[in-house]
Amino acid sequence: MSATGDRLKGKLKKAEGKLTGDRIRQAQGKVEEMKGDVEAAVDRAATRVKADVQSARSRARNRRRPPDV
């Protein structure tokens, strides 16, 4: 499931647990919500790394080109 989906599912479980007084369900919801937060952070980090690698490759290619004469 996606990070957003996990967060939403976690919030719903937490609310359900709070409404029914089920502490275990509340805890499960909290864990699922945190899982979504971690997944989102990992996705953001991976995106940044990919962009940095692409930028570094581009700069390296530009340095190797001989000057136009």
Residue 69 covered by a domain: no
Residue 69 has what pLDDT? Answer: 60
CA 7 to CA 13: how far, in whole Å? 10
Residue 63 has what pLDDT? Answer: 81
End-to-end CA distance of the chain: 55
Residue 53 covered by a domain: yes
Residue 60 covered by a domain: yes
| Residue 61 pLDDT > 90 | no
Residue 29 covered by a domain: yes
Find how far residue 16's CA is from the centre of its chain. Answer: 25
Q: Where are the alpha helices (DSSP H) in the chain?
A: 3-20, 23-64
Residue 47 covered by a domain: yes
Domain that holds residue 19: 3-64
Residue 7 covered by a domain: yes
pLDDT in tens, 1-56: 799 999 999 999 999 999 999 999 999 999 999 999 999 999 999 999 999 999 99
Q: Report the domain count for the chain.
A: 1
Residue 67 has what pLDDT? Answer: 67
Residue 60 has what pLDDT? Answer: 86
Residue 65 has what pLDDT? Answer: 67
